[in-house]
A and B are shown apart, each in its own frame.
Chain A
Amino acid sequence: MKRLIVLIVVLALAAIWLIACAAPTTAPKSAEPTKAPAQPVTLVFYQRGYTAGGTDAGTVNTDKAVEIFQKNNPNIKINIVGIPWTAEGDTKLEAALAAKTDINVFRVTSPNLPRYAKQGILSEITPFLTEEDKKDFYPSGFQIATIDGKVWAWPLWVTAISNFVNTDILKERGVEPPTMAKPWTWDQFVEACKKLTYKKADGTQVYGFSSSSKWGAVEYYPLMYIDGGRILSADGKKFVQNSPEGASALQKIAELALVHKCTPPDFGTVDQAGVRAQFKDRKTVAILMSTPGFIPDLEKENFPLAVTPPPLGALNKMVTNGAFGLFAVVNVGDQAKLKAAHELAKYLTGSQVAKDIQGWQLAPGLRRSNTGYSTNANREVIAKLVEFGVYEAPVATSAELGNNYGAALQAIILGKKTAKQAMDEIAPDYQKELDALSK
């Protein structure tokens, strides 16, 4: 028994040693010495959802894009490190940043961008934008990446939120779906939701409207903007959601549940998976406000889907919101690497890559010239909605404030506080953090 254990230990140690020595063939290499830009440069690119040698669309497309880029830029070599699309993937990226490992370009989403920008590790893209670029990007495309006039990441696409409707249910109840040309007003929306809330012959209850509302996965954001209010002022320095327009929009959302009673009992706390199951599988929700990532799944099941814009509020203008996919460039001393990294990020977010690789655009791009996403009528609606996007400035407030803000939203929807009350209560703490950030 003892000899066996010793044998295992020795063998294992030998194996570890062998593998440890053999392993880093695809690991990122260390920095090359700085020379003139024409000299070979190696970049490390942390890409989400990428498995080297994998056969899924994301990996294959990334490989193709990098291959094309390297062909057009023979002096630039790129090492790709994959991270999964989970919170643990974030942790992996951040551990690498904390340990000052070699990273040049990484994929990031808008909720995470402010934190990295605040740490001062990113390289500003503004010097690398040509005049053409500036005209090509939608103005709202930079909103989410701009602090004090400086843009901190290359915008790739935006998951513009819209209202998905189950056309079968609408037809059955005699409700005409809205269109981009003829959107609903808020009152028309409420009327429709009430009509769409009914009990079927077999006893199943159908609800007019729902949306993912668990904190951290809120998808009814566009409704917050329909009266002209917003969370922060455009420069990100003041908390303004307790203004009349801000509070009234929140109150409208709550009234859907409390007054008009056309939302399911878990509205306010339901997560994305749950509400999507209600819409797609059980068909107990007629209108779902959600992100375009859900469309391929619905199309696969031949779901009776129509994509429609959010209703108009007191502002009388179409609005939407969503999260951005972006590529951030890490600030390193080596100017050659920096320039190369920006070139890579610019290519990956340009219109050329969408033409080079079919299926690259999984969400509407943020350049007017990028039309790679609209392959059918429903997606066309989403692409058109992008220009009406209203986005908050990238301000890195603490997670604790986030928890309290999320709690305030839930308190409003569950009827524990009025919108004005809840927003007034959180305003001082929110403003305090904003003030601390702009010092």
Chain B
Amino acid sequence: MSYFLRILAYILLTIVAVVSLFPLYWLFNTALTPASSTVKLPPDLIPVNATLDNFDAILRASGVAKIPIPGSDEPWRVPRLYLWFVNTAFITLFSTAIHVLFDSMAGYAFAKRKFPGSNVLFVMILAALMIPAQVTLVPLYLLITQWKLVNTFAGVILPGLADVIGIFLLKQYIQTLPTELEEAARIDGASEWLIFTKIILPLTTPALAVTAIFSFQRYWNSFLWPLIVLQSPDLFTLQVGLSFIHTSEFGTNYGLLMAGAALAAIPMIIFFFAFQKYFMQGLRIGAIKG
């Protein structure tokens, strides 16, 4: 491509990228303007009357949780909003860690190992992805009720751990790894687990990072399932708690909606940039040689 065309392409790309950020900009902008039931479009460039009122309102509306401290009469009073952050962080980080581990294990097996039933199982996995969640919601809830997991973190987390989209992603990626490496290691007498952890995993770090990022987003933003399972406000996740605050019988309070969404977005943005460092290039140079 000629130099000129390349410059043009990059200018265009930058414009598209900036435009792509508009919803995010509008989100933070509206979060900082005084709340109302209507929404100002387009937003002022710098929010007029910029205020943290919305965030304050959310903090107060979330109420105060009283956590009993063993060995003391006075319970520990903490604003529920903080508790919601912690709950969501716990559920999300735990689920993400499990997914990175289990999905890479299963992805490796489907990609590199031949075993009876691998095709059938993989087809089943894909088929499950094609069923919309709405039809499995009630059967799943009945299951959770039977196991007495309603209103527990376990009830929220377990069905999510069964999500197979990560397995598909990792299988596709691990497929591209050269098989010679494994075979060489097996000849040297390495155990299967060692091969997996010391050879496959290090080469898969970009895909693991992507899995982590996608999982984090899925669980951090997850709303419908936690809403249905959880009943005690002390156990709510962030999205569930926020939904009570910005909606009312008479409509949505957009300022509070945006403020809540802004609060929820910040950890995801941090997580995303933190995990980008795993996208390094040229990881495989020299791996095959020798």
Interface residues of A (CB under 8 A from B): 1-2, 5, 8-9, 12, 15-17, 19-20, 23-28, 48-56, 58-59, 81-82, 84-86, 88-89, 91-92, 95, 98-99, 101, 109, 159, 272-273, 276-277, 280-281, 291, 293-294, 297, 300-301, 325, 362
Interface status of B172 (Cβ within 8 A of chain A): no
The interface residues of chain A lying within 8 Å CB-to-CB of B61 are: 51, 54-56
- Give 19 A-B contacts (CB < 8 Å), ordered by A residue: A9-B97, A23-B234, A27-B232, A48-B249, A51-B80, A51-B244, A52-B233, A53-B80, A55-B63, A56-B61, A58-B248, A85-B248, A91-B137, A91-B224, A98-B141, A281-B38, A293-B249, A293-B250, A301-B36
| Contact call A294/B233, Cβ cutoff below 8 A | no
Kindly supply a per-residue 1/0 record for chain B positions 23-62, scoring 1 wherever the CB is within 8 Å of any chain A CB and 0 otherwise. Answer: 0000000000000111111000000000000000000111
Cα(A286)–Cα(B149), bound, Å: 53
Contact in complex: A51, B39 (CB < 8 Å):
no
With A and B bound together, what is the CA distance between A325 and B249 in angstroms?
A: 9
The reply to whether B232 and A53 form a contact with Cβ atoms under 8 Å apart is no
CB distance from B47 to the nearest CB of A (A): 15
Nearest residue (CB) in B for A15 is B90
Contact A23 B80 (CB under 8 A): no
Contacts of A50 in B (CB 8 A): 244
Tell whether, in the assembled complex, residue B249 and residue A84 are in contact, meaning their CB atoms are under 8 Å apart: no
B233 with A276: CB separation less than 8 A: no
B residues near A362, Cβ cutoff 8 Å? 249-250
Pick the contact of B232: A5, A25, A89 (CB < 8 A): A25
Residues of B within 8 A of A17 (CB): 154
The answer to whether A294 and B231 have CB atoms under 8 Å apart is no
How many angstroms from the CA of A254 to the CA of B249 in the assembled complex? 29
Contact, CB under 8 Å: A49 / B248? yes
Q: B60, B142, B250: which has the most chain A beta carbons within 10 Å?
A: B250
The docked-state distance in angstroms from the alpha carbon of A242 to that of B282 is 72
Judging by beta carbons under 8 Å apart, are A95 and B137 in contact? yes
Which residues of chain B are near A52, meaning CB under 8 Å?
63, 232-233
**Which residues of A have CB within 8 Å of B241?**
51
Contact A273-B80, Cβ < 8 Å, known A28-B231, A51-B63, A98-B142: no
Would you call B254 an interface residue if the criterion is a C-beta within 8 Å of the partner chain's C-beta atoms? Answer: yes
Q: Does B245 contact A (CB under 8 A)?
A: yes
Q: Is the CB of B38 within 8 A of A51?
A: no
Task: Judge whether B174 is part of the interface by a CB distance below 8 angstroms.
Answer: no
User: Which residue numbers of B lie inside 8 Å of A, CB to CB?
Assistant: 36-41, 60-66, 80, 90, 94, 97-98, 101, 137-138, 141-142, 145, 149-154, 157, 197, 201, 223-224, 227-228, 231-235, 241, 243-245, 247-252, 254
Whether A84 contacts B227 by the Cβ 8 Å rule is yes
Known A23-B151, A48-B249: A92·B227 in contact at CB below 8 Å:
yes
A56–B37 contact, CB under 8 A?
Answer: no
Closest to A46 in B: B231
Give Cα A242–Cα B254 distance, bound, in whole angstroms: 39
Q: How far is the CA of A95 from the CA of B145 in the complex (A)?
A: 10
CB proximity of A391 to chain B, nearest CB, Å? 18
Given the known interface contacts A53-B64, A95-B228, the answer about A20 and B152 at a Cβ–Cβ threshold of 8 Å is yes
In the docked arrangement, what's the CA distance between A301 and B90, Å? 41
B40–A19 touching, CB < 8 Å: no
The 5 A-B residue pairs with the shortest CB-CB distance in the complex, in nearest-first order:
A293-B250, A53-B63, A277-B38, A20-B152, A54-B63
CA distance A294 to B37 in the complex (A): 8
Q: Assess the A273–B251 pair: CB atoms within 8 A.
A: yes
A9 to B161 CA separation, bound complex (whole angstroms): 13
Contact with B39, one of A82, A89, A91, A277 (Cβ below 8 angstroms)? A277
Contact A84 B231 (CB under 8 A): no
Known: A9-B98, A281-B40. A84 touches B145 (CB 8 A): no
Please tell me if the beta carbons of A55 and B234 are within 8 angstroms of each other in the complex.
no
Q: Which residues of A contact B64 (CB under 8 A)?
A: 53
Which of chain A's residues have a CB closer than 8 A to the CB of B244? 49-51, 54, 82, 84
Chain B residues with CB under 8 Å of A297's CB are 36-38
Known interface pairs A9-B101, A51-B80, A84-B244; 18 further A-B residue pairs with C-beta atoms within 8 A, sorted by A's residue number: A16-B154, A23-B232, A27-B231, A27-B232, A49-B244, A53-B64, A53-B65, A53-B233, A84-B243, A92-B228, A95-B228, A99-B138, A101-B150, A109-B249, A273-B38, A273-B254, A291-B250, A297-B36
Task: Return the chain B residue nearest A325 by Cβ.
Answer: B249
Residues of B within 8 A of A81 (CB): 231
Question: For residue A95, which residues in chain B have a CB less than 8 angstroms away from its CB?
Answer: 137-138, 141, 228
Bound state CA distance, A53 and B157, in angstroms? 25
